[in-house]
Structure 1
Amino acid sequence: MTISSSLNASVAGLTTTAGQLATISDNIANSSTYGYKLASADFHSMVNNTGSGLYTAGGVTLSVMRLIDQSAALIATANPTDLAVRGSGFLPVTSLSAIGSGEMPMELATTGSFRLNADGYLESTSGLVLLGWPADANGDIPNYPRDTAVGLEPIQINTGQVMGEPTTAIDMIVNLPATATEFDADGTPETLTIEYYDNLGKSQTLTVTFSPTIPAADASNEWTMTITDSASAGAVVGEYVLTFDAERDNGGTLDSVTTISGGPYDPATGSFEIDVAAGPISVTIGELGASGGMTQLADEFAPSTISKDGFAAGNLTSVEVDANGNVYAFFDNGMSTKVYQVPLVGVPNPNGLFVKDGQTYTISPESGDFFLWDAADGPVGDIAAYALQASATDIATELTNLIETQRAYSSNAKVVQTVDEMLQETTNIKR
């Protein structure tokens, strides 16, 4: 009966409108929830085809979709491991409680406030641990399979880690006084002390002594450079005779280097190698005739460039993630090393993912198979550190929808009341 179908349609309208009210309520309640994705309610009419006679109301149904692919604004923070995906893609995470259980299912998130917990895991406030590919001893990421999560591991940082790096190369550019090699000079040597770091990150010292050769007349333009090592009880590790050019074109530059002890001088690179207690160190003094090498000019001793590699032992100070997902550990000696890489998970249909608590998602048949991309590569975005993704809720839009939903609910209720009155009139006909 048409009047009965009107009642059923209105009741369906009340039910679906109440469902829409639930989505609006959920959206407004999560307006301050980081990473929250909007719930959207869509109405679908139901048509009963009864031919050309009386019309029968079919009613309405409701479908709700989580708009996971919808982006949201980023909010700046002061924590370097507050992470947000800028663009498409998801951070791979797993539950802290799943670690060590034998099964570690991968979940997906678009943002998270991660901090090192007592065990060194990068854990979010909701108990999720960031996953990544571990780097090898050289800081390189091996080639892991991209269509499986097998290679991913919970990111765990050794908070008590101490790191140092031995010195392997020294650049030593010094100007020696030209007046010191003249026949009437007093022959006083010049001394230079250079710190280096051994294999254990300890500070050691090279002492470089420049002794001028005093001739019977004129100037020798010659110096004997002696290098001693504190780690070898002051033993001589290199001795070289430096002769400087006195001609107009190349005056003051190295003319020749004669090796007395230590590694031979290589004129092609302007360097030689000495063996200290910690191992070989390459020392660069400049090429022959080059203005950028050792010089003998004027009357002042001036070490112009003393640089070296290596670091003393240092303690871990912080962990940071760059836009490409590389996780670096920083130490108080200035060193840093790559320890992990966080990929971004891409799926063909993000809105088809299973929705879980805590703004996390899992793969479903509707989402399609996942692929692990390097951040900022392919179809995925990059990773923003010092940032969290805001809620996708727009309060003004939701309040407007609330007003419309309230009116729709009232209208459906009015139809039910009208149908009830009409049925009452039909009942009164019998009287």
Structure 2
Amino acid sequence: MTISSSLNAGVMGLNANAARLSTISDNIANSNTFGYKRVETDFHSLVTSSNGSTYSAGGVRVSTQRMIDQSGSLIGSNNSTDLAVRGNGFLPVTTKPEVTVDNGDLSMMLTTTGSFRTDAEGFLKTETGLVLLGVPANPDGSIPAFARDSVANLEPIQVNLSAISSEPTTEIKLGINLPATVTEQAVIDPSTDYERQKIEYYNNLGSTQDITIEFRPSPAVAGVASNEWTLVMTDSATIPSSTVIGEYTVTFNDTQTAGGSLASVTTVTGGAYDPGTGMVEVTTASGPIRISIGELDTTNGLSQFGNSFRPTNISKNGSGTGTMILIEVDENGYVYGRYDTGTSRTLYQIPLVAVSNRNGLEAQDYQTYQVTKESGTYYLWDAADGPTGEIVGYSREQSSTDVAKELTDLIQTQRAYTSNAKVIQTVDEMLQETTNIKR
């Protein structure tokens, strides 16, 4: 009879609102949990067959869903490896026990934020034991090609903050002015007219060596300035150190519009001059080094003005021996080791994992998720590329819970629960009246 269906509907209403109360309490309890995704409760009516004269209450059914596609706001921190994803995508992580076992088949979990710090073994992990995964860089800092639909090339990120490293010099830029008056002389005295410049560079082991460049002016011809110099380069690490590694003849313009600029470069020994870049390449004991002497018709490298030899700007890349002092992650997911020499080195790249249906992921402990059939297959994207967002360092993602809304829902749930309880009480009283008819 319809009165019993009313009782069933009231009981189902109590159960449904109790389930909603559970999700609300969970959301409020985790309102300060970094990376927490709120759970949403939906009610669905159940309809039974009825005709115009009778009606049976069907009741209500409840369903819950974790809103993984909803992101919380980002908050700054003072830890460089506090990471959060701004936009779509997940950080790949695994558990420390799996790393310790090292069975070659790591299971990947996903998270949108984490406070990662190096442990005693150098692994970047959270306090809950989640270890960050990435693709290790080649020795030159480049990232190798890796499978985008598999975790086969992902490794636990492990760094040594006390690591010592150096970076050999591969490029030197010269900014030197040569005296124009010397090339006006008919006689050149090597002891007074030759100019020398030592340039320090870092070798492959982090120690320093010198490239010495001797600038030899050519004498004037028939009273006309030659505007010509020969550059002779030697390397202190080459045996013998007097071995010439590069020799170039350069001439300078003396026109009204381009006076003092580089006019031509002729290679005698060493790598050919590249007019497009203004570079020559010489081979030292540590390998090839590119030296910028300037582009033609410019004075941004070598120039010839006045009567004085003047180095104006000499710079080089590379660094001596340094100790890693900091790990940082940029928006593209590249993990850099910063050294006390001011240099940096690429160590890993963290890809961002994208799935078709984020809300189809299976929620695990510690704000992590696993791929399921409902979520669809995953793909490893470069951060800030394709459909994924970017990785933000020095940041954590806050909970997506809106406490004000949850409190409002709490009041509504309480009233709905009370109303359903009142229905049951009323049905009970009506049944009691029905029972009393027999008396």
Q: In which range does the TM-score fall when normalised by the shorter chain?
A: 0.7 to 0.9
Q: Write the letter of the residue equivalent to 1:389.
A: E
1:364 Cα offset (Å): 1.7
Q: 1:192 aligns with which of 197, 204, 212?
A: 197
**What does residue 58 of structure 1 align with?**
58
State the number of aligned residues: 430
Give the direction of change, closer, same or farther, for the CA distance of 1:429–1:35 in structure 2 (3 Å limit). same
C-alpha RMSD of matched pairs (Å): 3.2
Which has the larger displacement, 327-336 or 82-91? 327-336
**What does residue 175 of structure 1 align with?**
177
Distance (whole Å) between structure 1 residues aligned to residue 420 and residue 253 of structure 2? 105
**What does residue 205 of structure 1 align with?**
210
Give the direction of change, closer, same or farther, for the CA distance of 1:211–1:366 in structure 2 (3 Å limit). closer
8 Å CA contact retained: 1:346, 1:373: yes
**What does residue 121 of structure 2 align with?**
119
Local SS of the residue matching 2:131: strand
Matches within 5 A, 1:23-422: 23-101=23-101, 102=103, 103-180=105-182, 182=185, 187=192, 190-210=195-215, 227-232=233-238, 235-238=241-244, 247-249=254-256, 251-252=259-260, 263=270, 266=273, 268=275, 274-286=282-294, 290-422=298-430
**What does residue 432 of structure 2 align with?**
424
Gaps of 5+ in 2: none
1:9 Cα offset (Å): 1.7
1:162 Cα offset (Å): 2.6
Which has the larger displacement, 334-343 or 393-402? 334-343
Give the direction of change, closer, same or farther, for the CA distance of 1:53–1:166 in structure 2 (3 Å limit). same
Q: Write the letter of the residue equivalent to 2:366.
A: G
8 Å CA contact retained: 1:80, 1:320: yes
8 Å CA contact retained: 2:218, 2:230: yes
Which has the larger displacement, 407-416 or 280-289? 280-289
Give the direction of change, closer, same or farther, for the CA distance of 1:19–1:258 in structure 2 (3 Å limit). closer
8 Å CA contact retained: 2:122, 2:160: yes
Which has the larger displacement, 155-164 or 235-244? 235-244
8 Å CA contact retained: 2:161, 2:326: no
Please give the per-residue CA displacement for 1:273-314, whole angstroms capped at 9, x wherever unaligned.
Answer: 555443443444346765444333222221123122322222
Please give the per-residue CA displacement for 1:303-362, whole angstroms capped at 9, x wherever unaligned.
Answer: 123122322222222222222222222222233233222222222222122111111111
8 Å CA contact retained: 2:253, 2:262: no
Local SS of the residue matching 1:236: coil
1:158 Cα offset (Å): 3.4
Gaps of 5+ in 1: none
8 Å CA contact retained: 1:244, 1:252: no
TM-score of the superposed pair, with normalisation by structure 2: 0.86
Local SS of the residue matching 1:36: coil
Local SS of the residue matching 1:5: helix
Distance (whole Å) between structure 2 residues aligned to residue 311 and residue 265 of structure 1? 27
Distance (whole Å) between structure 2 residues aligned to residue 256 and residue 11 of structure 1? 95
